[in-house]
Every structure is written in C-alpha cells, then in structure tokens.
Homo-oligomer: A and B are copies of this chain.
Amino acid sequence: MNLSKTSQYAIRVISFMAYDNRQIYPASVLVKKLKISDKYLKRLLTTLSKHGIVRSIQGRYGGFVLDKKPENIFIYDIVAAVENIEKYYGCILGFSECSDENPCPLHEKWAPIRDELINLLKNTSIADVVKNPKIMKF
C-alpha cells in the first residue's frame, strides 16, 4: 500500500533538484547523490521531461533543471507522469463497476480514505516536501 518504486524515485529526484534549485544537474550527479540505478534513473528523467516536470538540456554541460517552481509541482503530477494514476481511484475490492451509485460493500468506508490520499497527493507540493528534508540526506 504505497507508491510504486518508480514514483518514489521520481519524488526523490525532483525533491533533490528543488532543494538546491535552478542549477543544472547532469544525470550522473543525480545517480551518485541518490544512489538510484543509473540507466533506470536516466530513463525516468526522460519521462519526467516529456511530462514537463523537468527540462532536459542536451549536449556537453547539459543535464536537467526543474521546469517549474517547487511550489507548483505537486506529488500528484509526478505520480501521474510515471504510473497509471487511474489505479489510485480504483475499488479496493477490484470491482470495476463499483461507484458511489453502485457501491461495493467496502465502498462507503474506503472512498473517504481514498479521497484523503488523493487530496494529500494533490495538495502537497515539492516545496512542502523539501521543507523538512532531514531523512533524505541531501
């Protein structure tokens, strides 16, 4: 019951870049700092650039930069960029036809919790995350 590893990686990278903002980071530096598998992180950064969350600068002295202010990048956007966000709206028992109108037996209990989670993702920006980065060891 958590975000995918890919989402977690993405949040950590973006957070690191936000922590010391407006600087160009080559992927190699991010790999070393965050200890995420080299090729996987590079691919992830390309994905994030295609979704307008980072900007990629090719060629020598290139790298990646945040494309928005940390206050305007929300966890939800990052998760939606790297995995299928629909998953987070699904029925906890897996009934595709489950809805407010046609609820599964757990719907009334689960839906509010699910909504809280989605609101958490939607309302939490990378700026919020970076306010207390202690555990992230930047």
Please give the residue numbers on chain A whose beta carbons come within 8 Å of chain B beta carbons, in ascending order.
1-3, 5, 8, 11-12, 15, 75, 87-88, 90-95, 97-98, 102-106, 109-110, 113-114, 116-117, 120, 124, 128-136
- Asked if A11 contacts B93 (CB within 8 A), the reply is yes
Q: A1-B87, A113-B113, A135-B98 are in contact. Are A106 and B124 (CB under 8 A)?
A: yes
In the bound complex, do residue B109 and residue A113 qualify as a contact, i.e. CB atoms below 8 Å apart? no
Q: Is the CB of B2 within 8 A of A135?
A: no
B93 and A109 within 8 A (CB): no
Q: Which residues of B contact A90 (CB under 8 A)?
A: 1-2
Q: Which 10 A-B pairs have the closest CB atoms?
A: A8-B94, A105-B129, A1-B88, A104-B135, A113-B116, A105-B132, A2-B92, A109-B120, A2-B90, A113-B117
29 CB < 8 A contacts A-B: A1-B87, A1-B117, A2-B90, A3-B92, A3-B93, A8-B93, A8-B94, A11-B93, A12-B93, A75-B106, A95-B135, A95-B136, A102-B134, A102-B135, A103-B132, A103-B135, A105-B128, A105-B130, A105-B131, A105-B132, A105-B133, A105-B135, A105-B136, A106-B120, A106-B129, A109-B124, A110-B120, A113-B113, A113-B117
